[in-house]
Structure 1
Amino acid sequence: MVEDSDWTTVGEQIRQARLGAGMSQAELATRIGLDRTMIAKVEAGGRRVDALELIRLATALDVPIDYLLHRRPAVISHRAEPLAEDNDTEAARRSQRLDITLSAWLGDVRQMIDAGTLRPNAPMRYTGRAGSEADARAAARWLREAHGAGEEPIPTLMEFSERSGQYVLVGDLPGDGASLIDGDIAVAVVSANGDPGRRRATAAHELGHLVLGDEYSSDLAVHLSRADREAMINAFAAELLLPLAAFTGRTPEGNLREEIIRLAARYRTSWSLALRQAEQAGWLDATTRRSLSQVTPPQAEFMDAVGWSPQPDLSAVRVPPGYSHAVMEAWRRDLVTSSRAVELLHGQITRDDLPPRDEADLPL
């Protein structure tokens, strides 16, 4: 199951998962029926773990078994610092749990690829210069044109990201989101917390890490600070969701606030992003933007601006459409059990939504 040289990796992954879960070695030992000294030896790579112990460890730590067996990919947009006993803070644990979820999501996508039911799109990378916010906006316009979106609202960012080669999972997660690239596979996770506009902004931000590259995967703007690089990614996300062309060539008719609400509702962005784009387009100055940002319009105003039509993106839909089809195809071909199909779809369906069948000899 594990080469001799890899037991140190397994031990470190167990330690990181334990600290991420906020457990002591003694607490983990009690949960799986081992002595604390045995946990210490396992984490140091000095003791092997049999299959049953590995299952118990994964269950107690609430992580996939694969997470304990392999190091996480190096190219990750939100990189948690390795946890240690002296930096075991609540913020560090939340960050670690986010990375665990991201790695598990990568495993789900890879399972469908290995099953032959998912044929992923190649990750799209901007080939132009990317050294400023203006360059980032140009990259967003390039991606829009590549998908034929032009200047119109993107109906579903989940499907748009999938076509761009990034598979997005929306879940009950700490923080906002994160993404990683492992070889030719790109995945991202977005927290279901917050309003839909914020979720779309997070998904667009993570797509920006893929399209532009970042400090972990390329030499993107190496002369810039991390804050400046993040500002570039934010500029990409803003232009992707609400292009400046939506403002230019026209002047606000009537109440400025109401005009920006209409654009924010039509393009389904957060209020803060719409205000930043309005300022960038010259519709308002910094002082007015700050004034308008003090009070976010109530949801009723946004819904009224679009005729009360449903706004489901990144809300009811938790996984990409192509991936969902791949899971169902794997289920129909008896490559996964019904229980595993439900797990792979992350809350899109329940076990009762699938027809009953005999699964005694099926793989998990």
Structure 2
Amino acid sequence: MNPTDQPLAYWWPLATSQQLGVGKPLARVLHGRPLVLFRERDGRPAALPDRCPHRFAPLSAGCVRDGAVECPYHGWRFNGAGQCTRAPGSLDEGSSAVLLQPLQARDSHGLIWVRDAKLPAPALPCSATQEGLDLFWMHDKVRCSLQEAAENFLDAFHTHFVHAGWIRRDSKRQRVIADIRALEDGIEARYSEERLQPGLISRLFEGSRGESFGRFRLPGLAEIEYRDARGRLTLLITAWLVPAEAGHLQVIARIATRRGWLPGWLKRLLIRPLFGVVLRQDKRILEAVSANQQRFADCAEQWGPVQMLDGRQDLLGPWIRQLLLKGRLDDFAARRLELEL
């Protein structure tokens, strides 16, 4: 499947399960399409175009009554199938006609997933086991493309500068082995022979370092995983990168740490501000890079290379671009490199 041709054939997460309450709809944008999310009477999520067909008011500005989203303008109500169940003042009892084309919605793995029901259905993405883990969620919007965000998230070599002191330091690099392999739906880098990183986050959350992983899976999942010398998970950061309106990306990040002696609520108090700093640092550089590309859009050929230059240390970026463009990897061969990280 090519994500460029049929992006809505994939399942995309638009909110956490906790964000989508019972009485209040949520406004979301997916690949430029304004949507309203709400829960039906039985608690199942529903997704409709965020526009009442009567006078085009945004349904997300209304409320949810009896499992239907109610328009704030004239009170028309719509169920999860896109049928009008009430049109006040008209004496109508509702209609079986579908006035709004619904999207398929699911509540799974702590997320609300949406896709176009008219397209062939892929399997709902599975999630790492949550047993024995403390989970925390973070949300943000970034002005950049999915490709830019995925490359940034999985690029270990920017951390010495953008996150200096928080993750790594340029003055304290280590020789590491990187193994690059293809996944069924993505690409993965495995780093070995790296000791603890000198940054604050590694010192706080890791007792030892055995190996770490960076992986990308279609259509927009980026993941960083750390394991200790005994092979036990110490930190797993999963970021779902969801294209919203043009040039904007919604990011839903789940941070998982191994459950230990420190209570989850106390760990949350530590994690949120620390990772909030790192996310804001990435957001600043991503938005600066994206804006700079736009500045040179009309004159790039006069001022150097049109295409980005990839170095030996760009382990995943070129393959992420290929996956997003073609939906597959061409001419890929697993490889091992020694690098200074």
Same fold by TM-score, threshold 0.5 exceeded? Answer: no
| Richer in helix (by share) | 1
Question: TM-score, normalising length from structure 2?
Answer: 0.30
